[in-house]
Structure 1
Amino acid sequence: MHLRTPAIVLAVRAHGEHGAIVRALTPDDGVRPGYVRGGHGRTLRPVLQPANTILGEWRARTEDALPSLTVELIASRAALYAEPLAAAALDWATALTAAALPEAQPYPQVHAALAAVIDAVEAAPGARGWAVALVRYELLLLAELGFGLDLSECVATGATGDLAYVSPKSGGAVSRAAAVGYEARLLRCPPFLREGGAAEWDAILDGLALTGHFLERDLLHGRAADPLSARNRLVERMKRALS
């Protein structure tokens, strides 16, 4: 196996005294793991920061063997880790992607969307500049893995207007009229998820609560649930920034 392509670093785990096992998301070949000799050393550790873009070269004698991986830095996001909210966003987005996606299956839309989220954080480290993109990324990831929400019409009446809620069981939208008396049992659906555009903080937090429910229920089980702590830190930092 031989693959040479740009990739986004998702996760790095020390292996042995100086090596590291790296998982990175490629544009056309999905998540690819590889062993980086010296990856835990002083020289390569900054290159292998999650959210960095690298040029990776994977080589293995067989498809079943863990490939060796050599890396060159294309774009560093190290400066963003000095900003607590930006750092929390990058930690969560990369950890979620590493935990949710199976290896070696192409997800070009996910790669493009993750790159767009990282670019948004880089362009405007303040959360208002990227939080909407992050919620939409979570929604896309659910859809790409077969757990998409249906926000096109009311699951109860078929109405297509005033869809203010989502059923936590079916993932279908619910109109305001159909939700009367059941509001406390439903998840709020912020308008930006259907109409696009920017959003106020309360709508952003509603979006995070919505996608968080389905991520935890449908994708992040067992060991894959570990990244939820990174998401909790992100949401708490957002709330503190508002207070």
Structure 2
Amino acid sequence: MEWTDEGIILGLRRYGESSAIFELMTANHGRHLGLVRGGASRRQAPHLQPGTVVRATWRARLDAQLGTYALEPLHSHVDRLLSSGTAAYAFSHLGALLRLLPERDPHPGLHAVLDAMMALLDAPRPAAMMIARFELLMLQELGFGLELDRCAATGGRNDLLYVSPRTGRAVSGEAGEPWRGQLLDLPYFLIGDVAEPPGQTQLDAAFELTGFFLRRRVLEPRGLAFSDARAAFLATVGRG
């Protein structure tokens, strides 16, 4: 068995004296692990750190085996992750989200979004906007997507201001006003394009919305909680 794909290193752990098991988010093969012989050596380790974009060739005798990787670094974001707490926490949180996916389950859309985000993770508000959208996309990819394109009460597509915490469906301002205190706010940037990154109030509302449904539909049924990196990232954004 053999394939070649592009991927982003999410993490690694040492295996033996100088080898390491690498976890990649690949374009066409999902979140995929493989052994790199010498991957923790002085020669290879500096070039194969989390956040590095690589061309990966995976080989194994059987598809079910761990297999081995040959990794060719293409582009590194390591300096950005090391020099910015915002970027480091953001990348750690994104990795934790991606580990909710079954291993080897292809999600090319998530890989493409992650790849596009990497260069902006040290810019607090743009990064926060993209990560809130990424959390919304994760819900969809995991089979728990929210219905935010029309009002659940009227069927209309305008003035969508709220989301029902019970159904995950959008509600217009007029239809939702009587139950305003029971609904979650729906920031416009989650459903439409914006010229500038949103302000802190909109970001807070977005993460409250995505966090509510990720906890209720994904994390709590698995006995999990958000990684500490999410709270740390949001704290750095709030100070920005």
Q: Structure 2-normalised TM-score?
A: 0.89
Q: Give the length in aligned residue pairs.
A: 237
Matched-pair contact (CA < 8 Å) for 1:100–1:224: no
Asked if 1 retains the 8 angstrom alpha-carbon contact of 2:125 and 2:237, the reply is no
Q: CA deviation at 1:67?
A: 0.5
Return 137-146 or 223-232, whichever deviates more: 223-232
Alignment match, 1:130: 127
Aligned positions of 1:136-151 closer than 5 A: 136-151=133-148
CA shift for structure 1 position 223: 7.2
The corresponding residue for 1:25 is 25
Alignment pair present for 1:84 and 2:81: no
Alpha-carbon contact 1:120-1:133 (below 8 Å) kept: no
**Could you list the runs of 5+ residues in structure 1 that have no partner in the other structure?**
none
Give 1:222 shift: 7.4
In 2, Cα distance between equivalents of 1:202 and 1:214: 19
CA RMSD, Structure 1 to Structure 2 (Å): 2.1
Call closer, same or farther: CA 1:92–1:182 in 2, change over 3 Å: same
> For residues 194 and 226 of structure 1, do their structure 2 counterparts lie closer, same or farther at Cα, with a shift above 3 Å needed?
closer
d(CA) in 2 for partners of 1:53 and 1:227? 25
TM-score (normalizing by structure 1): 0.88
Q: Which amino acid aligns with 2:238?
A: K
Which deviates further from its counterpart, 104-113 or 43-52?
A: 43-52
User: Equivalent of 1:177, from 174, 177, 189?
Assistant: 174
Q: C-alpha displacement at 1:113, in angstroms?
A: 1.0
Equivalent position SS for 2:175: coil
User: Segments of 4+ in structure 1 off by > 4 A?
Assistant: 221-224
Alignment correspondent of 1:195: 192
Separation in 2 of the partners of 1:42 and 1:9? 18
Sequence identity of aligned pairs in percent? 36
- Distance verdict in 2 for CA 1:223–1:175, change over 3 Å: closer
Report the counterpart of residue 8 of structure 2 in structure 1. 8
1:35 aligns with 2:32: no
Following the alignment from structure 1 to structure 2, what is the Cα–Cα distance between the partners of residues 188 and 154? 13
Question: Structure 1 residues 96 and 44 mapped into 2: Cα distance closer, same or farther (>3 Å)?
Answer: farther
Q: Structure 2 unaligned segments of length 5 or more: list them.
A: none
User: Does the 8 Å contact 1:139/1:148 carry over to 2?
Assistant: yes
Change (3 A) 1:211 1:34: same
Q: Aligned equivalents of 1:224 and 1:80: distance in 2?
A: 33
| 1:55 match | 55
Q: SS at the partner of 1:138?
A: helix
Tell me if structure 2 keeps the 8 A contact 1:25–1:31. yes
Q: Does the 8 Å contact 2:124/2:236 carry over to 1?
A: no
Deviations 1:162-184, CA, capped at 9 Å, x for gaps:
11111122110112222224333
- 1:221, CA displacement in angstroms? 4.8
CA 1:50–1:225 in 2, change beyond 3 Å: closer, same or farther?
A: farther
In the TM superposition, what whole-angstrom CA distance separates every residue of 1:49-90 from its partner, at most 9, and x where no partner exists?
A: 222101212111111111111212111111112111122112
**Helix, strand or coil at the partner of 1:179:** helix
Amino acid across the alignment from 2:211: G
Do the aligned partners of 2:58 and 2:70 also contact (CA within 8 Å) in 1? yes
Structure 1 CA distance for aligned equivalents of residues 219 and 234 of structure 2: 17
